[in-house]
Structure 1
């Protein structure tokens, strides 16, 4: 069974309230992450037809602050499917409802895994690619996964032989006093 990207897309909008601010008076990043996790779940559950759990979150760069009173819109779509996992792409925008001015606040990729009632992974439907944008997003997800695998191999080498890598620290503001 295959489902198109369009069949699982989700969009939510929420007015940002003073109760969601940080000490600097901007909307708290943790609150935005919570909303992103919720929309990732909804999108993954809609695609898979099952309960889903968050396996990982790719880097989240907060590009622009979100102000109290702005309308935040999050758009989520399935970018990639594996056997039981799905990569959900999320875009966050805010809009000044007085001026209509919009800004891109962040984007991220959540890896969600479909599970049954016992917490065991289950197979998810494949993905129908119907646009070049869908294809681009799927290929980019493959490339991100390959890069992450390479990165993990490189990082594991450091743990296996730290002595070979200690000279790397010479270029940084660190004082090494290993005994």
Structure 2
């Protein structure tokens, strides 16, 4: 399979934060942001693979600042790395004060998806070709993140096995 440029998977979404989207502090619900993240990352992964995808992992979601009612939420995602059937996507969330133009990063996240066929079986995906400095940085650091996910999953599996054997 030929590598595909990361830019072809880039996906951007902007929405206005309204009162029903917020908690009693007037800031957007974290769960709403998480839903946006999963949706935009899935679109990015599907653009890259041209296949249906399922979420395999969501990690390192770091909320850095709140997004207030009346501000715009701007979400950007692109594929950073692929392995045989998996696709890592980076998502950056920003807020914009529409009256002042002030923009700030409010959260970042990495998600991993697995491409599947019509029967839900894993299928191979094309490699990703990073072009910009930002894309290259995410690409070069991706194997370390993948290893951490593998180790985290193994630890959880061991704990689950220990709990099941002790009951």
TM-score tier (shorter): 0.7 to 0.9
Cα separation, 2, equivalents of 1:159 and 1:20: 36
Cα separation, 2, equivalents of 1:51 and 1:27: 29
Cα separation, 1, equivalents of 2:35 and 2:156: 29
Match of 2:119? 118
Cα separation, 1, equivalents of 2:160 and 2:12: 42
Q: Normalising by the residue count of structure 1, what TM-score does the alignment of the two structures yield?
A: 0.82
Distance 1:112 1:150, change over 3 A: closer
Query: Once superposed, what is the RMSD of the aligned Cα atoms?
Result: 2.1
Q: 1:65: how far off?
A: 0.6
Match of 1:38? 39
Give a deviation string over 1:45-78, Cα, whole Å, max 9, x none: 1000011111110121211111111111111010
- Structure 1 unaligned residues grouped into runs of 5+: 162-179
Q: 1:126: how far off?
A: 1.2
Give a deviation string over 1:63-104, Cα, whole Å, max 9, x none: 111111111111101011011110000000000000111111
- Structure 2 unaligned residues grouped into runs of 5+: 163-167
Match of 1:167? none
Q: 1:40: how far off?
A: 0.4
Are 1:109 and 2:110 matched, yes or no?
yes
Cα separation, 1, equivalents of 2:111 and 2:120: 19
Q: Normalising by the residue count of structure 2, what TM-score does the alignment of the two structures yield?
A: 0.87
Match of 1:58? 59
List aligned pairs for 1:14-163, cutoff 5 A.
14-150=15-151
Cα separation, 2, equivalents of 1:152 and 1:5: 27
Name the larger-Rg structure.
Answer: 1
2:64·2:106 contact (CA, 8 Å) conserved in 1? yes
